[in-house]
């Protein structure tokens, strides 16, 4: 039996998920799109929606000079463009791995918590049975200050959350052909804490 990242997508009642919300936040680890396609194959006939989350916070500014305000606006627009580009690449990678093309919903989060926006969408989209999110591989400082997106989703979700782990790291780089250490090659499934 092949134990390489076999994924079984089921709800707590041991029924296959019927509505699956797949989150793309632009900071997914290598190989995550293939893992998502494997997870979705375990729930044939499920309705799938991709939620593309673009996070571009607006830090406070005390700049009074018009030139400083314009420079800040340009920097924020560039930040948003780069974030949107990163998320778009993630969506393209995921769509390339899927047989059926699901709908894609874009959410721009400016001054709010992306974890809350994801959970709100899961509740509004006639209540998702499962949320699939990859481990957030942001810079350590950002993770320390804000917390990873996947942890914020798990803490607030009312439905099960499938967290896809990063591939195993070796001295020579990332290996996609072996199970993730410590997880038995399986993603971490967590119950929401709503």
- Show me where the domains of the chain are located: 19-60+72-166
**The pLDDT of residue 103:** 84
Record: fold of 19-60+72-166: Rossmann fold (3.40.50)
Per-residue pLDDT tens digits for 70-99: 888 888 889 889 989 999 999 999 999 888
Q: Provide mean pLDDT across the span 120-125.
A: 87
Q: Would you tell me the crossing angle of helices 66-97 and 32-41 to the nearest 10 degrees?
A: 50
Residue 142 has what pLDDT?
A: 60
């Amino acid at each position: 039996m092949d134990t390489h990242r076999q994924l079984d997508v089921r709800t707590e009642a041991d029924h296959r998920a019927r509505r699956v919300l797949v989150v793309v936040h632009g900071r997914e680890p290598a190989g995550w799109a293939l893992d998502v396609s494997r997870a979705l194959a375990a729930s044939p006939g499920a309705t799938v929606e991709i939620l593309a989350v673009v996070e571009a916070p607006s830090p406070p500014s005390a700049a009074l000079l018009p030139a400083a305000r314009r420079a800040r606006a340009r920097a924020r627009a560039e930040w948003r463009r780069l974030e949107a580009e990163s998320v778009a690449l993630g969506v393209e990678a995921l769509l390339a791995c899927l047989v059926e093309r699901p709908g894609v919903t874009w959410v721009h989060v400016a001054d709010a918590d992306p974890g809350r926006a994801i959970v709100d969408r899961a509740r509004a989209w006639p209540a998702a049975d499962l949320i699939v999110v990859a481990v957030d591989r942001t810079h350590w400082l950002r993770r320390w200050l804000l917390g990873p997106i996947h942890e914020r989703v798990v803490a607030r979700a009312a439905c099960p959350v499938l967290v896809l782990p990063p591939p195993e790291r070796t001295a020579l780089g990332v290996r996609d052909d072996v199970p993730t250490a410590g997880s038995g090659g399986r993603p971490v499934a967590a119950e929401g804490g709503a």
